Amino acid sequence: MSPAATTAPSAEAIVATGLTKSFGEGEARMTAVGGVDFVAHFGEMVFLVGPSGSGKTTFLSMISGILRPDAGTVKVKGQDIWSLGKDALADFRLNTIGFVFQDYHLFPRLTTAENIAIPLILKERDWNQSIAAAVKVLDVVGLKGRGEILPVKLSGGEQQRVAIARAIVGEPEILILDEPTASLDGDTGKMIIAFVKEKVLNAQRCILIVTHDARINEYADRIVHMEDGRITATDGGTE
């Protein structure tokens, strides 16, 4: 948590160079991400947009330490993440990056509060304190009082908010969200994006959001367009 305060406002949060990933074998082999260079800074909210299948999720997975690239490097706060061993990478992710998966990835047998508390418990925080922190964040995402129910009792949009709450509860310096507003109504989506944006501006964190949702474009500092596994254009910002 403490490094955020010492990071200069325009410092590089994520630097990807020549990032490449292919899937399949033989004739079925296809390049999902083909040689992408990308930089995101602390203190900015970057949107990544592009058609379905253009490689956005694959790209996010590589820059956040979930999917090993075939080629290229990823530096997060200057650390070459794919040079780390498995345990060191897991620790680095836990301490630095909050990730919201496109399909939520909630644990069905845990309550919503327990799901949200997971990152804190993994950091060996006290169980009761972790649950109390989770319950507070539930309020922030508009699910006050829903901490003790199982995710299956929630709508898709509510599960989305639980996933967002889990990603922000540990106050990570870098927050990565894959289509976070897809199943939210316009007002709720805007409320949540406005909230995470306020967090970035206040704490000089870095937020990267994959989205199709033009309703939230006004919150972006920079919009990066992806097509066929490549970055084709960038709107706004200084680059």
Ligand X SMILES: Nc1ncnc2c1ncn2[C@@H]1O[C@H](COP(=O)(O)OP(=O)(O)O)[C@@H](O)[C@H]1O
Interface residues with ligand X (CB under 6 A)?
A: 23-24, 32, 50, 52-58
Contact 207, 46 (CB under 8 A): yes
Q: Which of 57, 115, 130, 211 binds Mg ion (CB under 5 A)?
A: 57
Q: Tokens in use for 140?
A: 């922030």
Nearer to ligand X, 39 or 66 (CB): 66
Place of tokens 């919150």: 219
Nearer to Mg ion, 54 or 111 (CB): 54
CA distances from 45 to 93, 112, 127, 137 (A): 19, 27, 32, 21
Nearer to ligand X, 79 or 183 (CB): 183
Nearest partner of 64 among 10, 13, 11, judged by Cα: 13
Piece of 54-62, 82-90, 118-126, 229-237 that binds Mg ion (CB under 5 A): 54-62
CA distances from 49 to 18, 35, 128, 210 (A): 19, 17, 39, 6
The interface partner of residue 7, options being ligand X, Mg ion, none and the CB cut-off 5 to 8 Å by kind, is none
**Whole-number minimum distance, CB 156 to ligand X, in Å?**
18
Nearer to Mg ion, 56 or 77 (CB): 56
Residue 99 is given by DSSP the state E
The interface partner of residue 64, options being ligand X, Mg ion, none and the CB cut-off 5 to 8 Å by kind, is none
Q: Give me the residues paired with residue 159 across strands.
A: none
Which residue ranges make up the site for Mg ion (CB under 5 A)? Answer: 56-57
